[in-house]
Structure 1
Amino acid sequence: MSSSVPAAAHPDGVPVGWRPQLIALDIDGTLLRWVEGAGSSEPEMTAPVREAIRRARAAGAHIVLASGRSPHGMTPIADALDLVGDGDEPLWIVASNGAVVFRYPPMDIVVEETFDASDAVRAVLAERPTARVAIEERGVGYRVSAPFPEGELWGDEIITDLDELVGEPVSRVIIRDPDASAEEFVELARRIGLHGTEYVVGWTAWLDLAPVGVSKASGLQYVADALGVDPADALAIGDGRNDLEMLAWAGRGVAMGQAVQVVLDAADDVTASVTDDGAAREIDRWFGEHA
């Protein structure tokens, strides 16, 4: 955990009387269930998840969506939660694994970190020449070197020459190889080093590249500073390798039940799986009727 804990504490380590002031929520595999056999998630949250989040917001907790998705892939989730009414402050949202921080609605980009991804992309393609590359085209979709598997990207896919894709600084790069496994991509990334970038491998052979020092945790720290919230007073819930820094950053980091083992091992606690509304169960522990 990110802070010392008083002697009087619950068995799981949080101080007696602790209640999160900020709740950082991954989306795919946490709020949205994965589509079996596909690299995409279902389009809608279940009612228990939506209602638990709304109860927490009504009780005064700051809700912060934190995802590897691009900004335009996150706004529909914010819309579905319907947390912002007349007179309410816009939500803080951490997108692109921390490279973009924005307020919504309306969309107002507050932070965007960029980097030169060309060397890292070419190093991966030298090993996996059939892999596809994608760069966000904000408000439209993605510029891609070749089409991605159906349902894996949000918005339009604009076929673009590789030299043009990596010819200028970007906030995030996706490299996807449908012919490889996640384990092969983990080994590949370790072996070639990917110097000058941060990287994270998803559930499939999906590699996210980001600027050095950028993660969901760095984006959340910016939000917490703006809100005047200590990370020790934050709850974070996620299921993927790109959630590791976020779970370590928060005072209480909780893994979804179906998370990969490295995430389960790193978390302060484990809730039920996404198919059993694990995020709602964790949130209701602090904001439910019997909390």
Structure 2
Amino acid sequence: MTILTPSMVSGTDDQRYDESTNITKSNDNAPAGNLPAHLVALDVDGTLVDHDGMMSDAVRAAARETVAAGHQVIIATGRSLGALLPVVKQIGLQRGFGVASNGGVTVRLDPSLEWGYEVIERETFDPRLALTALRERLPGARYAVEDVHGNFLATERFQDRSFGIEARGVDFQHLLGLEAVRVVVNSTDSSTAEFAAAIAECGLQGVTYSVGWTAWLDIAAAGVSKATALEKLRSRLGVQQSHTVAVGDGNNDIEMLTWAARGVAMGQANEAVRAAANETTASVYDDGAAHVLRSLL
């Protein structure tokens, strides 16, 4: 595991830390005037893009303007790294940080790096107990594991765009021996309610998990969430807690919305997500994220 160091986030050629304002500023992308920069954490699916994976022109423009204004925009997504990077590119974010795999992977973005980024932290866990318990309750489900090297291995030709890369087919037993960053479970023969009930009956221990709006389950290491990764970045970037904003729509965004000083739920979010937020914006189909971002400009 690689730990963030102060040299990664302050005092470099790309960024400087202004002690008088407690803000990390980019030399070529500083906030206008003396306005404080915010750390702006943005979910992807259901927030920046709709459920068909499309980002509207209004959202793209607002996100680009927020980046250009000097705010610390951080994409925080359940998607894995390969599926995070195209979104970063769409909003014009070249320097800064990104959080993938529900907090399991944190990357530093820098165009001078060979790939334009580097992984600075991975949170891993042993998935054996969780997978075994789930298999007993959901024998017909599809299973995938993101390993410590960023590869995806999956049963039954399981593939999803959130993986970011093509999954390699393996049998279920092979998954039990992996060191995991992310585990995904999807049932095609259960309703969302039936799936959620089966998960509850498993009594998963030693992991963090969230059930999606379909029969979908994401699992991360115990105590790991988007919020835990964002708090590490907030501390190291020197952004005051009062200057944190988060926007999301899913159950995996609840901790992030609670963590932020200004947590904003998307209009289509369920009741639990809206209850965790300070406010609710318009739905993803009405450019709700754009309304929030423009309020910062």
Fold match by TM threshold 0.5: yes
Of residues 138, 142, 150, the one that matches 2:152 is 142
Query: Is 2:103 aligned against 1:98?
Result: yes
Of residues 4, 23, 34, the one that matches 2:40 is 23
TM-score by length of 2: 0.82
Of residues 210, 218, 224, the one that matches 1:208 is 218
Task: Note the residue ranges of structure 2 that are not aligned, 5 or more in a row.
Answer: 1-34, 111-115
| Alpha-carbon distance in 1 for matches of 2:150, 2:122 | 18
1:10-49 alignment runs, 5 A limit = 21-35=38-52, 41-42=53-54, 45-49=55-59
Count of residues in Structure 1 that have an aligned counterpart in Structure 2: 259
Measured after TM superposition, the shift of residue 122 of structure 1 is 1.1
For the 8 Å contact 1:19–1:286, the answer to whether it is kept is no
String of CA shifts for 1:78-136, please: whole Å, max 9, x gaps: 1111232xxxxx22000000011111242211110101111111101101101111122
For the 8 Å contact 2:38–2:243, the answer to whether it is kept is yes
Partner in structure 1 of residue 251 of structure 2: 241
For the 8 Å contact 1:31–1:49, the answer to whether it is kept is yes
Percent identity (aligned)? 40
| Alpha-carbon distance in 2 for matches of 1:139, 1:203 | 28
| Alpha-carbon distance in 1 for matches of 2:151, 2:161 | 12
Query: Is 2:81 aligned against 1:71?
Result: yes
Label 1:130 to 1:20 Cα distance change in 2 as closer, same or farther (>3 A): farther
2:100 maps to amino acid: A
Label 1:30 to 1:19 Cα distance change in 2 as closer, same or farther (>3 A): farther
Measured after TM superposition, the shift of residue 149 of structure 1 is 6.4
Moved more, 129-138 or 48-57: 129-138
Asked which structure has the greater RCO (Cα within 8 Å, sep 6+), the reply is 1
String of CA shifts for 1:11-33, please: whole Å, max 9, x gaps: xxxxxxx9661100000000001
Partner in structure 2 of residue 7 of structure 1: none
2:164 maps to amino acid: W
Query: Is 2:121 aligned against 1:116?
Result: no
Partner in structure 2 of residue 158 of structure 1: 168
For the 8 Å contact 1:20–1:286, the answer to whether it is kept is no
Partner in structure 2 of residue 274 of structure 1: 284
Moved more, 130-139 or 268-277: 130-139
Task: Note the residue ranges of structure 1 that are not aligned, 5 or more in a row.
Answer: 1-17, 36-40, 85-89
2:103 maps to amino acid: G
Measured after TM superposition, the shift of residue 285 of structure 1 is 1.6
Partner in structure 2 of residue 229 of structure 1: 239
SS, match of residue 229 in structure 1? coil
Query: Is 2:61 aligned against 1:51?
Result: yes
Of residues 204, 209, 219, the one that matches 2:229 is 219
Moved more, 138-147 or 126-135: 138-147
Root-mean-square deviation (CA), in Å?
2.0
